[in-house]
Amino acid sequence: MGAVSGYDAIVVGAGAAGIFAARELGRAGARTLVLERGGALDDRRCPRRDGPDPCRRCVPCNLLAGWGGAGAYSDGKLSLSPQVGGFLAEFVGPPELESLIAYVDAVYREHGAPDRVHGADPAALEPLRERAGAAGMVLVENPVRHMGTEVCRQVLERLHHEVAGVAEIRFGAPCDGVVVRGGRAQGVRCGYAEIPAGAVVLAPGRSGTGWVAAVAAEAGVPTRPNPVDVGVRVECPARLLADVTDVLYEAKLYYTTPTFSDEVRTFCMNPRGEVVHEVYDGCLTVNGHAYAEARSDATNFALLVKTAFTEPFDDPTAYGRSVARLANLLGGGVLVQRFADLTEGRRSTAERIAKLAIPPTLHDATPGDLAFALPHRHLQDVIETLYALDVFCPGLAGDQTILYGAEVKFYSNRLALDRGLQTPVPGLYGAGDGVGVSRGLVQASASGVWAARSILGPGGAAG
């Protein structure tokens, strides 16, 4: 590794993957530059979240871009199971992934993540697994270390302090492409300037999937689409799920729907949390998080339908974006609907929403009818899965449960990568959610570490 001039390595993106890649490179003595199109944590201000103003659809969205990426505004769940949070095992193998997970978990704890791990007791897990089986669902074992949104930001601040000591970080610095000459990556383009480097790591996070596709096409790197996840965010009284979340914190449940045989999963469960919005490429979508201290009376989670395409259509990102835009068109933003109204074939109104015992935690969602926004297949999948969940936790399909739409997770462009996460273009690497390797904090972090170690080589030092 090494550049004749400039940097040994440039990391594009300062989310979990980029942070851990830069930390690993810098600590080994590599001259490392981090380019981030968003701002530092203190500069990330969301007018809707941090004040009374409506969403301004900032570009880039401050909830997604900047130091920490989307993880800075997440509830900071560290999923410690190799089966959860991505596809890194396909590259490095299960034993190596377990070692990487242990390594990044130790780094998070070193920087302030709590010691407690939820869902690590097999004896407590078994009755819940049996209940899930009785409902026709599969419960995946997933020990979780929960930081909470405020603690997550504190951890990211400490990581910023450490990484800034071993690498150069530039905020408000979008990357326009990769410089490829002589068949290998030679650096990046920022505006009209070229910045030379011996290696480049693409780690832009989920919101950078479209950018990755464009960069890959220009550099001649093959990609293949991952399935896109389309669905809703469910919110219900916290008491309905308390016996599950008190043990597991987050229940990872998989269900195969009877009508279409589609795979539906629960995702990002937030006990006593709140629903928030995100902006992807001009579309408003929903997400959820929970604090370590501040607690609501509601629990939220996503129900996501895995949607894959074959020929002739091969752009799942565009499909997911169109679903989100249709929901925005109907509601002027995010739609919210009582589950009882959906199953009875009527739209929710402000009057019906006001009768809920627990008001929606996303206060500016528009009451409406998700049947006009989600395709019939996805809607049927969501309804059938909620009825199955009602067997697992009685009351979930009741009149106090509400749905927000649409929730879309874009993981659609997986770069062609070898075991070291290097593309067919020598010197060009990929890590994290934006390149299709991960879909969570831990595996994103682990992929950044692995890409950095691949750059450093067997000796583990800058050369």
Could you tell me if 392 and 314 lie in one domain? yes
Whole-number average pLDDT of the chain: 89
pLDDT at 278: 78
Could you tell me if 203 and 306 lie in one domain? no
- The closest alpha carbon to 406, from 441, 438, 355, 370, belongs to 370
Q: Does residue 48 have a pLDDT over 60? A: yes
Q: What is the DSSP secondary-structure string of 292-342? A: SS---SEEEEEEEEEE---TT---HHHHHHHHHHHHHHHHSS-EEEEHHHH
The pLDDT tens digits for 397-428 are 999 999 998 888 766 578 999 999 999 999 99
* 226 within 8 A of 412, measured Cβ to Cβ: yes
Could you tell me if 425 and 447 lie in one domain? yes
Q: Which domain, by its residues, includes 392?
A: 228-409
pLDDT at 49: 65
The pLDDT tens digits for 256-297 are 999 999 999 998 899 999 998 877 767 778 888 877 677 899
pLDDT at 432: 93
pLDDT at 2: 46
The pLDDT tens digits for 205-224 are 877 878 898 999 999 999 88
On whether residue 309 sits in a domain, the answer given is yes
pLDDT at 266: 95
The pLDDT tens digits for 95-134 are 999 999 999 999 999 999 999 999 888 888 899 999 999 9
pLDDT at 96: 96
Instruction: Taking residues 293-306, report their average pLDDT.
Output: 90
pLDDT at 5: 59
User: DSSP 3-state assignment of 430?
Assistant: strand
Instruction: Taking residues 375-393, report their average pLDDT.
Output: 97
Could you tell me if 158 and 253 lie in one domain? no
C-alpha distances in angstroms, 109 versus 119, 146, 154, 196, 325? 18, 11, 12, 35, 39
Could you tell me if 52 and 69 lie in one domain? yes
CATH number at residue 430: 3.50.50.60
User: Based on the number of CB atoms within 10 Å of its own CB, is 194 exposed (0-12), middle (13-18) or buried (19 or more)?
Assistant: middle
Return the percentage of the chain with pLDDT > 90, whole number.
63
Backbone angles phi, psi at 143, to 5 degrees: -60, 135
DSSP state of 207: G
Could you tell me if 101 and 166 lie in one domain? yes
Could you tell me if 164 and 187 lie in one domain? yes
Could you tell me if 192 and 294 lie in one domain? no
Q: Alpha helix (H) ranges present in 203-271? A: 209-219, 242-248
On whether residue 200 sits in a domain, the answer given is yes
pLDDT at 27: 98
On whether residue 269 sits in a domain, the answer given is yes
Could you say which of 409, 429, 448 is where a domain stops?
409
Q: How far apart are CA 145 and CA 292, in angstroms?
A: 11
* 95 within 8 A of 453, measured Cβ to Cβ: no
Could you say which of 378, 393, 409 is where a domain stops?
409
The residue that leads in pLDDT, 283 or 237, is 237
The pLDDT tens digits for 14-46 are 999 999 999 999 999 999 999 999 889 888 877
On whether residue 310 sits in a domain, the answer given is yes
Could you tell me if 417 and 375 lie in one domain? no
Could you tell me if 263 and 335 lie in one domain? yes
Q: What is the pTM of this model?
A: 0.86
Could you tell me if 335 and 212 lie in one domain? no
The pLDDT tens digits for 307-351 are 777 767 767 777 878 888 888 888 878 999 999 999 999 999 999
**Into how many domains does the chain fold?**
2
- The closest alpha carbon to 146, from 193, 80, 91, belongs to 80
The pLDDT tens digits for 135-175 are 999 998 889 998 988 889 999 999 999 999 999 999 999 99
Could you tell me if 399 and 422 lie in one domain? no
On whether residue 371 sits in a domain, the answer given is yes
On whether residue 140 sits in a domain, the answer given is no
